[in-house]
Amino acid sequence: MARQDVKDEVIYLRSAGVDLGKRFLLACVRVPSLKRTGNWSLETERFATTRSEIERLRSWLVERGVEIVVMEATSDYWRAVYYALQPHLNLALVNPAHLKGIRGRKTDPSDAAFLARAGASGLVMGSFVPQRHIRELRDLTRRRTEIVRAAGSEAQRLEKELEDTGMKLSSVLTDLVGLSGRLILEALVAGERDPERLADLAVGKARAKIPALAEALEGDFTEHHVFMVRHYLDEISRLNDTVKVFDARIATLLERYETDLMNLDTVPGIGRLAAEIVIAETGGEMAQFASAHHLASWIGVCPGQNESAGVSRSGRTRPGNRSIKRVLGVAAMAAIRNRNSYLAVFYRRLAARRGSQRALVAVMHKIAIAIWHVLHDHVPYHELGADHFAKRDPERAMRRMTKEANSLGLTIRFDPIVEPVTA
């Protein structure tokens, strides 16, 4: 029997907490005490994580009239339990980090009881769990990303193998496994050793590098290197073919989001693959995010809050959604390369004061805001232009130009442009 006297803070009279593990779980139901008004009784039960035991857990919770069930997102163990209980109960999947700082003594029963009390008092917020077709799409896009990274790792191993031969092919060709690189490597495996003939296999823009290629292809390419290079090339080809299979499957599931994908493609730095990942991670609908800043916070690209005794300290960004954060990082680096864009000007202004890393995160935040508006309003991205800040505050722009001119020993005067009068 456990008691709590905080009656006014209770939102749910009947709540439950579930502490998850790989082989078993502990469920604790918190209900009003029948013996004394204002007190609460706890009932704890242990269940295995098999399907039949999860069904028994569901019946056990329904019989006790539980209004909310709180569970932590522990590894992937929550999935089977959550999906089985979701159609029948009000669930709140909680980020463990949100509860980490308010715990006391830790045991499995006390964890379950703590989750039940936290759920009854409304101290926790449920995480976003997308619908089934979006979860399947997430699995596909995340696995595709892993395969692409695996192919990149194989290409790096291939480059290391070529270093053992003394050949410096990667110093001349940007993409070692591109068309020119492939033709040269296939010829090496087939037995060709003449650097001039190998260099002449280059195609496209790489033909301008034929002299450099001939010099870089001088080395000792042995039978061992033939075997290893053949292995790496076959492995890269296999992984690339697998990526194509995933691309086709993902494209089929994303047919209903074609308009949103085209709109996302207009956001600076966001291409087709990045747009597919954004749809897969967010679900394509912004109803679960109250505002653009909620989306940025969920992704983890907004500054943290760290204030004590009235003093605000630097706050780090939260972990957030790693898949979208990785995409936004690449998108931000691509966006700031266009020097005549709003994001590039914003980056340069902020980097001068706060440093390049903080400025890059700020650009990621701007892109997240744009993504929310594009998906919420179903419209393309609107480019503000490089002169946005000057138009927003002309006097500040004039002061800056005057200050720069004075530093050079010059003076300037600003006169309005007089439009010519037409007859």
Q: What is the pLDDT tens value at each position of the chain, 423 positions in all?
A: 344 444 446 778 888 888 888 888 888 888 887 766 667 788 888 999 889 999 999 999 998 888 888 888 878 888 888 888 888 888 888 877 666 655 555 666 777 777 777 777 767 777 778 888 999 999 999 999 999 999 999 999 999 999 898 899 988 998 999 999 999 999 999 998 999 999 999 998 999 999 999 999 998 999 999 999 999 999 999 999 999 999 999 999 999 999 999 999 999 999 999 999 999 999 888 888 889 998 998 898 887 666 555 566 666 777 788 899 999 999 999 999 988 889 999 999 899 888 889 899 999 999 999 999 999 999 999 988 888 887 787 888 788 888 888 888 888 887 777 777 665
Pair (21, 65) in one structural domain:
yes
Beta bridge partners of 92: 70
Residue with tokens 């700020």: 362
Residue 44 structure tokens: 């704890």
Look at residue 2 and tell me if it is in a domain.
no
Pair (262, 358) in one structural domain:
yes
Pair (53, 115) in one structural domain:
yes
DSSP structure class, residue 124: -
Pair (233, 265) in one structural domain:
no
pLDDT of residue 160: 92
Beta bridge partners of 40: 32
d(CA 415, CA 409): 20
- Containing structural domain, residue 76: 15-121
- Domain endpoint, select from 357, 377, 397: 377
Q: What is the pTM of this model?
A: 0.78
Look at residue 53 and tell me if it is in a domain.
yes
Look at residue 418 and tell me if it is in a domain.
no
Q: Report the side by side order of strands in the sheet with 15-20.
A: 40-48, 24-32, 15-20, 68-72, 91-94
Residue with tokens 């709180």: 70
Residue 281 structure tokens: 């991670």
Pair (299, 278) in one structural domain:
yes
Pair (371, 263) in one structural domain:
yes
- State the maximum Cα–Cα separation within the chain, in Å, rounded to a whole number: 96
